[in-house]
Amino acid sequence: MFNKRTKIKALLSTEPANQEIIVMGWVRSFRNNQFIALNDGSTNNNIQVVAALGLLDDATVKRITTGASLKVTGELIASMGKGQKVEIKANTLEILGDSDAEKYPLQPKKHSLEFLREIAHLRFRTNTFGSVFRLRHSLAFAVHQFFNEKGFIYLHTPIITSSDAEGAGEMFRVTTLPFDNAPRNEDGSVNFKEDFFGKSTNLTVSGQLEGELGAMAFSEIYTFGPTFRAENSNTARHLAEFWMIEPEMAFHDIEDNMNLAEEFIQYLIRYAMKNNMEDLEFLDARLAEEEKQKPQNDRAELGLLDKLKFVVDNQFERITYTEAIQILLDSPHYKKKKFKYDVSWGIDMQSEHERYLVEKHFKKPVIVTGYPASIKAFYMRMNDGCEPGKETVAAMDILAPGIGEIVGGSQREERLEVLEARMAAMHIPLEEMSWYLDTRRFGSVPHAGFGLGFERMVQFVTGMTNIRDVIAFARTPKNCEF
């Protein structure tokens, strides 16, 4: 068998006893024709391989360049140098893959995140992205562990769908019809009966509606999969393709929903702090260096690790939308006209408003409830007792420091007549959604759910400021590389 290797992370915590081991990885540096820093991606820390002078011929020595891949057989011994407990005394060394040192983009120096986005196929080999994507893996694993421990069913909802869960219309069309000669109806519109599915279809913007169907049988389900928005937003917070976690729970109201979402976020952070502290410490130091470059007034009050500890050790603040708007209207920020967007009851709060609430006013995560019905989706439960013109829904958003909204959810409207009236008012065809309405016709129950944008969660935990740096291959307007 070729691959009888030990990972470097395991070797670095092994007691040296001159045992023979095999290690494989990529060269980070090679100095004095003897000392090779080798890394295999299991940790940011390299292991030093010592190739005694005379062990390798000149031709092989010249091929040991940054980025080259090696297989080393040798003895794990105590290191005499500083900074490492163990090193490998090489007995044999095989070059698995050469790397042209002059052309290899990742030279041993500091690279900007902008440059690394241009070579996203290689950026995993850097310490920053090694830490980010190991943390992304751990958080994904923790998502499944959390819901499994609570007895939720993992439901795979469709990626191709004929419904628009959000009603926003910002969808990617899925079709096999020819672009230059699509079949037409008499009125000139496209005849989708000729299409593959016999109707207009698109990439999903959310698995929620299908998730509700599962919750009406299993009580509690969750989805975790890719979602798509054809929104022309070229910002550090938006992607055209991203991953969403969407639990749906029967027999839950809005308060149950908030409690679960808060517990879920804290669980994910605790898991990362327990299992990836080495990576978090690296990113904490990286972020501290980044903050030093900013003006004093723009610097974050807490470092990354302190922020994460604060979130898991404290309850989230809970306020109504009406209270949030009043806080913004009373703020020095508003009175000095520092907000780009105006503030009034009924607005869909912008990121600057959300970040003011969490970063300046409360200085911790905030759950906002009771949003105006006019700015929320049709499926959210209408609150009782609202004054005319100020109708609200049982919605909730969780706002996090640094990124704004991280969770959006609601208690769903379980009353058939109210839901039908709301859909009619929003011009949503009832006949096409008959399958959805059946859950209200046959054994309807109070139920709730939320969506957590996974990339924004990874951003929060890693401290990365651009969402394109927490997904392997970002899909954004005018950008679909790899």
Quick one: pLDDT at residue 281? Answer: 97
Question: How does pLDDT run across 396-424, given as a tens digit for each residue?
Answer: 999 988 888 999 999 999 999 999 999 99
CATH number attached to the domain at 125-170+205-469: 3.30.930.10
Task: Take residue 147 and report the two structure tokens written for it.
Answer: 């819901």
Q: Which residues contact 353 (CB under 8 A, 6 or more apart)?
A: 324, 328, 339, 341, 343
Asked if pLDDT for residue 169 goes beyond 70, the answer is no
Asked if pLDDT for residue 1 goes beyond 80, the answer is no
**Which pLDDT band, with edges at 50, 70 and 90, does 196 fall under?**
very high
Asked if pLDDT for residue 167 goes beyond 60, the answer is no
Nearest to 6 by CA among 25, 26, 22, 19: 22
Task: Give the C-alpha separation, 129 to 123, whole Å.
Answer: 6
Q: Which CATH number fits domain 8-109: 3.40.47.10, 3.40.50.300, 2.60.120.260, 2.40.50.140?
A: 2.40.50.140
Residue span(s) of the chain under CATH 3.30.930.10 come to: 125-170+205-469
Find the mean pLDDT for residues 351-373. 94
**Which pLDDT band, with edges at 50, 70 and 90, does 254 fall under?**
very high
Asked if pLDDT for residue 40 goes beyond 80, the answer is yes
Helix, strand, or coil here: 57? coil
Asked if pLDDT for residue 58 goes beyond 90, the answer is yes
Tracing tokens 């095999």 back to the chain, one arrives at 22
**Which pLDDT band, with edges at 50, 70 and 90, does 92 fall under?**
very high
Question: How does pLDDT run across 282-294, given as a tens digit for each residue?
Answer: 999 999 998 888 8
Helix, strand, or coil here: 182? coil
Residue span(s) of the chain under CATH 2.40.50.140 come to: 8-109
Find the mean pLDDT for residues 197-207. 93
Task: Take residue 298 and report the two structure tokens written for it.
Answer: 């723009």
User: Where does residue 23 rank: exposed (0-12), middle (13-18), buried (19+ CB within 10 A)?
Assistant: buried
